Amino acid sequence: MSDIQTIAYPYAKAAFDFAKENDALDEWMAGLNLVANVMEQPSLETQVKALEQGGKSETDNFLHLLFSVCDGFIDSHMQNLLKLMAENQRLIVMRSVTEIFTQLKDDNDLRLDVTVYTSEPLDDEQYEELLEALEKKFDRHISLARKIDRNLIGGMVIKAGELVIDGSLQTSIQRLATNLHV
């Protein structure tokens, strides 16, 4: 885990646990995404970075601005999370908090985002067969994105989280060449 993820994880986990306990996972995910997107706007991104050197009044002013922009979209509980993160000078990791929260929610929902890279487009039948096989393999609902990679000679590369399944023709040829040289 990177330093940013290590810092962000406790906030994301606390937010996830609270949202799950209050049956508000979707609302929290939407709110966290909104806050992260607002904070990444160029005019605010500079202010977020400056908060690390600023004092309490700068932080309070920033939070007041953030809460007014997000008014009606985030509740007092999320505001409390943001206040705590600001107190600890951790607002800079908001995007990571959002990403980790999303991963925790996806795990909870038995859902997995997968991307398949092919040299040619998959037809509908191939797509459905691949989707069914992946859902069976991972025992999760799969959200399957298709991408064309013209660098692939043939076959496919599947990325599911941190797992990569390389079934490309190029990799198969490299394995064969390695085995022949042994």
Q: What is the per-residue pLDDT across 34-74, written as a single tens digit (0 to 9) for each? A: 999 999 988 888 888 777 777 788 888 889 989 999 988 99
Q: How confident is the model at residue 11 (pLDDT cuts 50, 70, 90)?
A: very high
pLDDT at 1 > cutoff 60:
no
Q: What is the pLDDT of residue 84?
A: 93
Task: Tell which CATH architecture fits domain 3-107.
Answer: Orthogonal Bundle (1.10)
161 in helix, strand or coil? coil
Domain boundaries along the sequence of the chain: 3-107, 111-181
- Residue type (1 letter), 44: L
% of the chain exceeding 70 in pLDDT: 98
User: What angle do the packed helices 42-50 and 56-69 form, to 10 degrees?
Assistant: 150
pLDDT at 144 > cutoff 70:
yes
| Among 62-71, 74-83, 146-155, the range of highest mean pLDDT | 74-83
Long-range contacts (CB closer than 8 Å, 24 or more residues apart) made by 77-82? 77/18, 77/22, 78/15, 78/28, 78/31, 78/32, 78/35, 81/11, 81/14, 81/15, 82/35
Q: What is the pLDDT of residue 2?
A: 63
Distance CA 103, CA 121 (A): 28
Tell me which of 182 and 41 has the higher pLDDT: 41
The structure tokens listed for 127 are: 């797509």
Distance CA 115, CA 142 (A): 10
CATH number of 111-181: 3.40.30
Q: How confident is the model at residue 182 (pLDDT cuts 50, 70, 90)?
A: low
User: Exposed (0-12), middle (13-18) or buried (19+): which is 148, by Cβ within 10 Å?
Assistant: exposed
